[in-house]
Structure 1
Amino acid sequence: MTGPPASGASAPGVPGAVIELDGVSRRYGAHIAVRGASLRLAPGAIHAIVGENGAGKSTLLKLSAGVIAPDAGVVRVDGDPLRPATPAEAARRGVGMVHQHFMLIGSFRALENLVLGCEPVRRGGRLDLAVARARAGALMQAAGLSIPLDAVTSALTVGERQRLEILRVLYRGARAILLDEPTAVLSPLEADELYATLRRLAREGRTVAVVTHRLDEVVRFADHVTVMRRGQIALSRPAAGRRAETERDLTRAIMGGEPPPDVERPRLAEGAPAVLEVAGLTVDGAGGRRLLDGVTFAVRAGEIAGVAGVEGNGQRELVRALAGMEPGAAGRVAVGGVDVSSWDVRARRACLGVVHEDRHAEGLLPGASVGDNLVLGDLGDLPRGASGRAAEAALVARRVDRFRVEPPDPARLAGELSGGNQQKIVVARALDRIAPAAPAQGAPTRAPRRAAAILAQPTRGVDVGAAAVIHGAIAEAARAGLAILVISADLGELRRLCHRLLVMRQGRIVASLPPGCSDERIGRAMLGLEAA
């Protein structure tokens, strides 16, 4: 179906590109990602595209940006077909896309990434850095976006890298800006700042479309909303004047029915023993900067403890140090009463399930099959020969079914799945090997199998249904006796799941708070104004 023109299309300033999709379809093998979709993205408004994982949202955006070509139907920009359907042609026509996973070269400076592919050059083909810097400065001032141009990109914060990606498409003259999950890695404050930028660009007359799973953002910021379900557009309508529309209303439209109930927080047994114990954990970074500063806490059997804080305050280093990936880490880490501080990653894996914040870099092999990814690290525990192959197939089938991986095809390449379904794979590996975590009387000679789990951003980039599946698995693991540590930028998620909140600031745990405490109190702790 074709939605009506988004509100505010007559905004003055930069003339936005009108993108029209007319009956477009896209197939991957037997799977139809988008089926007969028709949509109009008009200038001057923020257009949100929502739906479950695998509903076709990202595919629709890639079709609009020429990243992929439709198998049927046509994509038009300003009334003319987008041919050839390539990113270069789309960029020439004024369409730019900011992908869910940053497309930046970490070793390059921010300025070099900004101009990469369209560098101003002097006579002889040499890069003209002075011109590049002048253009970048003018663009940042006009767009209201600021980044340190001389900083190495890998040293930028997540928010700065997101701004750099937007500046890159603007530098190339984008009149339509398409963003895939732009706030998935941002803190709430950074997300608000991003939408303020997008609103400013829309008011100038640009076309802005955002794929997101955060329905609160849709309610607060979108002028027009499109809901996709199983590759088709279920509805597309203006959001202006519909502010009474709630997240629950959108969830019903996305799921085609009532949303799943909230997962009940497991009851924490009185006197439950400590299973994950951390004392004086310290990590130093480049230049002697302290990334973790004497972190000390304990998580009991059956407890779900949450780590809250503005991203970049030591959360990533905490996960890596607990997983044994920071060889220079000092301090003590014990699991089930056994000191594992000297154990390497492989040894800790048996007793500690870990989900890292970047599933592509540290949790998934996109070029391997779904089945291979689901048993990564587990094959050594299976018998050999025919019985081992049967056990492996049964394990894969159980995890596909339990975590509702879509499509349920173990032979499919993991890189072809939606981000949410990739996340289910990573979480399945960490939580599916459930064993009682409470140690027996007296210290065991070795840590019990899968006694604790460290989950960084477990539902980042997943829809409401997938989040419910993951939250249910976390609660089930806690009921089975595991000690669970959840690190999340989503404060609502931590409140719903956790028995208590540990607030991190500048590499330290600065407060331990009940999940029902006020946002103001948590915010004060994040700012260092309230101690534990």
Structure 2
Amino acid sequence: MASHDDEAVVRLEDVTKSFAGNSVLRGVSFTLTSGEVHVLAGENGAGKSTLIKVLTGIHAPDGGRVLVDGEPVTFAGPGDARRRGLTVIHQELSLVPELTVAENIVLGREPRRRGGRLDRRRSRERAVAALARVGAALDPDTRVADLNTGQQQLVEIARALADHPRVLVLDEPTAALSDEEARALLAIVAELRDAGLALLYISHRMAEIAQIADRVTVLRDGRVADTMTRAKSTEDRIVTSMVGRPVANLYQHGDREPSSQVRLRVERIRSRTVRECTLEVRAGEVVGLAGIVGAGRSELCRLIAGFDRADGGVVTVDGRPVDNGRPASAAAAGIVMLPESRKTQGLFPAMSVADNVCTGTGLGRRRLGRTSAGARRSAARRYADRMRIKSAGLDQRVAELSGGNQQKVLLARCLARRPAVLILDEPTRGVDIGAKADIYALVNEVAARGVAVLLISSELPEVLGLADRVLVMSGRSIVAELSGAALTEEEVIRYATGAGAPAELTQR
């Protein structure tokens, strides 16, 4: 492998960046070398996103230098950085759903005929070549809206490679992918490294880091906390560098002991997207919902929470029926759901942290419903502190927070609503190990207080580590209940993939 200092394609030297007086990058030095995968790790809010934006011309640094091939550069914008060979694939995909695969790949650099007309034949040829580079057997004429998430991610990478970059930045590329799709993407990353690209890879998944990283740099509070080679990187070293403290026993159940009282009972609920399902969760119990993508986990929980209308079935909380066709009725019964997508289903990005925490809770309101910004800040503070939300203040817009801190804002709102039943749909997707530790502690804390918790997660160690029981879904129905000695990854996978017989519903 090339010498990192002498043959770096890109180097950052003592880069600083602040926003509204808040220092985000504090003297960061960093290199990217051809033919290596350099993983950037750190807690949400550590400065990773800002570093990426400085590197790719979205932000100009306040101080320090960016060098390309040893020469100082000042990017006029992301287009300028792209022309110099630096391309980024952000966590939130930027494809246009109504356009075809080919149209998305050439978008912004369309080949033209004389007179300025689009050359569709050359556009298609470019798309085919770009797709072939990532091994994607996709029809270039397919609308992006008709592709699944993994296929869209491949189109995004193919689009980036169409610019023939020397440096490719991938920001949490597997966050929304299934395990199979993630493995395929990591194989592509390895091929691109072997082809000589310099890759900056941002991930919170320790198994991914161990598999793909040639070097790991950890940011903490805007500074480089550690840089290590593959041979010297261990999970303990990375985690300790990220959070500034050892994080052990992530999944400890604490002293909680589920009661015999059934808090949530769901009987024969069904809809167009969910086959008939029956389940119950006791007070103080955490029940996991496991299954592969498309198994119907989120759809089932949305029926329970009243977000979607059921075609039949009964939901009760503490023995009292809930009108599960109305979110207001479910909320009044104490059913609170953290949705899968914080961007589209939960947050109000233009509103402040305090306003987001208080929305729908009655917090910060006085007699006759009067409220003020100060009252909302005061009411939200203890929930924000409990979730350790990193922000410039409770008046900061949520859109300006990192993804992990946005997730914590939603969780703070869930706490503020004082749930009897808490449904968590992918609560740790895209968050760092420190934030995960905080969220796991929250799950144990609310369960210890008698809340019934229903947990969806695509990370099997998370489900197995937190849950007292696991319900496995396959084909949009519950096919197995696992607990005790049967609560293993092998058993979950066996039923989730259809290898176990649905008739054997209870495995204890």
Separation of aligned partners in 1, 2:356 and 2:278: 33
SS at match of 2:45: coil
Separation of aligned partners in 2, 1:91 and 1:294: 51
Which moved further from structure 2: 333-342 or 385-394?
385-394
Give 1:472 shift: 1.2
Match of 2:415 in 1: 431
Runs (4+) of structure 1 exceeding 6 A deviation are none
- Please provide the CA RMSD for this pair: 2.5
1:477 aligns with 2:468: no
1:69 aligns with 2:60: yes
Contact 2:39 2:202 in 1 (8 A): yes
Separation of aligned partners in 1, 2:140 and 2:312: 34
Match of 1:444 in 2: none
Match of 1:259 in 2: 247
Separation of aligned partners in 2, 1:503 and 1:401: 35
Match of 2:316 in 1: 334
1:377 aligns with 2:350: no
Alpha-carbon displacement from aligned partner over 1:323-366 (angstroms, at most 9, x marks no partner): 32223654333333233244422332332111111111111112
1:522 aligns with 2:505: no
Match of 1:250 in 2: 238
Match of 2:179 in 1: 188
Match of 2:402 in 1: 418
Separation of aligned partners in 1, 2:4 and 2:403: 29
Question: What percent of counterpart residues are identical?
Answer: 37
Separation of aligned partners in 1, 2:153 and 2:380: 36
Indicate which of 65, 83, 86 corresponds to 1:95: 86
Match of 1:409 in 2: 393
Alpha-carbon displacement from aligned partner over 1:429-473 (angstroms, at most 9, x marks no partner): 113433xxxxxxxxxxxxxxx221111111112222211111111
Contact 2:472 2:492 in 1 (8 A): yes
Contact 2:364 2:378 in 1 (8 A): no
Separation of aligned partners in 1, 2:120 and 2:131: 16
Indicate which of 454, 457, 473 corresponds to 1:504: 473
The AA in structure 2 aligned to 1:359 is R
1:274 aligns with 2:274: no
Match of 2:209 in 1: 218
Q: 1:513–1:73: structure 2 CA closer, same or farther, 3 Å change rule?
A: same
Separation of aligned partners in 2, 1:308 and 1:426: 22
Give 1:414 shift: 0.8
Q: 1:359–1:202: structure 2 CA closer, same or farther, 3 Å change rule?
A: same
Q: 1:282–1:194: structure 2 CA closer, same or farther, 3 Å change rule?
A: same
1:454 aligns with 2:423: yes
Give 1:263 shift: 4.3
1:294 aligns with 2:276: yes
Separation of aligned partners in 2, 1:452 and 1:147: 43
1:197 aligns with 2:167: no
Contact 1:181 1:211 in 2 (8 A): yes
SS at match of 2:275: strand
The AA in structure 1 aligned to 2:267 is A
Q: 1:92–1:209: structure 2 CA closer, same or farther, 3 Å change rule?
A: same
Indicate which of 100, 109, 112 corresponds to 1:118: 109
Aligned residues: 498
The AA in structure 1 aligned to 2:426 is Q
Indicate which of 424, 428, 434 corresponds to 1:465: 434
Contact 2:363 2:379 in 1 (8 A): no
Contact 1:186 1:489 in 2 (8 A): no
Separation of aligned partners in 1, 2:112 and 2:127: 15
SS at match of 1:485: strand
Contact 1:282 1:329 in 2 (8 A): yes
Q: 1:53–1:348: structure 2 CA closer, same or farther, 3 Å change rule?
A: same
Contact 1:266 1:302 in 2 (8 A): no
Give 1:105 shift: 2.5
Separation of aligned partners in 2, 1:56 and 1:220: 24
With the length of structure 2 as denominator, give the TM-score of the two structures.
0.91
Separation of aligned partners in 1, 2:166 and 2:229: 21
Which moved further from structure 2: 310-319 or 216-225?
310-319
1:59 aligns with 2:41: no
Separation of aligned partners in 2, 1:6 and 1:332: 65
1:488 aligns with 2:466: no
